[in-house]
Amino acid sequence: DVKVTQSSRYLVKRTGEKVFLECVQDMDHENMFWYRQDPGLGLRLIYFSYDVKMKEKGDIPEGYSVSREKKERFSLILESASTNQTSMYLCASSGSGTPYSNQPQHFGDGTRLSIL
Amino acid sequence: AQKITQTQPGMFVQEKEAVTLDCTYDTSDPSYGLFWYKQPSSGEMIFLIYQGSYDQQNATEGRYSLNFQKARKSANLVISASQLGDSAMYFCATDRGSTLGRLYFGRGTQLTVWP
């Protein structure tokens, strides 16, 4: 079974802090993703990566950065945390494939981040 | 335009009955995939079922089936014989032909199963 592990289930930080959210997958997947989930808004993609050291902006990258130094690890960084970044953060990974190939994303359990 | 639309914010169904959760999508690519996920109140996202755009038959996985109507760009999830444990948020997603694995998610439908 695919295992995607997020470093913290719950996290509380203060405004202005630099925050690191870590995600590790054990299935040698090429693709990794960071989402935030807010009530009524569904999942919104922040950043994704399709290879080591490669990254692409998603729909809401402002205020965030990412790092992928190793294939299995994808980090989300809040450069200077603000209260509007309080949210549930979900990491996911998937294997590479062409469209019309069954490559679902596999998710971690999520990190509930509160910025005070 | 919305890439994925789920028009039902909430649905209610009685235990043992079937329920259909609606999903329409927007893509111009001929090759694409459609996915459904379940998210219980505990928060984890669970992959349920996949449909490829060229699949001739509707996908089925146990009590889940996908009613795929390509011309209408519709990919509704049908849950048969609902159980109390089916109460959760359900998300529809499509890759819209992406080769990088990116998925576009709808806003979800909250399903409540009552006894």
Neighbours of A29 (CB within 10 A): 22
Query: Cβ contact (<8 Å) for A100 and B102?
Result: no
Whether residue B47 lies within 8 A of chain A, CB to CB, comes out as yes
Query: Cβ contact (<8 Å) for A100 and B47?
Result: no
| pLDDT at A98 (0 to 100) | 56
H helix count then E strand count, chain A: 0, 11
Whether residue B32 lies within 8 A of chain A, CB to CB, comes out as yes
Q: Which of B34, B35, B15 is nearest to B87 (CA)?
A: B15
Dihedral sign from CA coordinates of A64, A67, A2, B66? positive
Say yes or no to pLDDT of A10 above 60: yes
Gyration radius of chain B over CA positions: 14
* pLDDT (mean) for A84-94: 96
| pLDDT at B3 (0 to 100) | 87
A103: chain B residues, CB-CB within 8 Å: 33, 101
Q: How far apart are the C-alpha atoms of A103 and A94, rounded to whole Å?
A: 6
Q: Hey, what's the torsion of the CAs at B38, B42, B44, B50, to 10 degrees?
A: -10
pLDDT in tens, B64-111: 999 999 999 999 999 999 999 999 999 999 987 777 788 999 999 999
B31: chain A residues, CB-CB within 8 Å: 98-100
pLDDT confidence bin for A41, thresholds 50/70/90: confident
| Among candidates B44, B52, B102 on the partner chain, residue whose Cβ is nearest the Cβ of A107 | B44
Structure tokens at A33: 């993703």
Query: Cβ contact (<8 Å) for A96 and B101?
Result: yes
Environment class of residue A22 by beta-carbon count within 10 Å: exposed (0-12), middle (13-18) or buried (19+)?
A: middle
Name the DSSP letter for residue A85: G
Say yes or no to pLDDT of B1 above 90: no
| pLDDT at A97 (0 to 100) | 62
Higher pLDDT, B64 or A30: B64
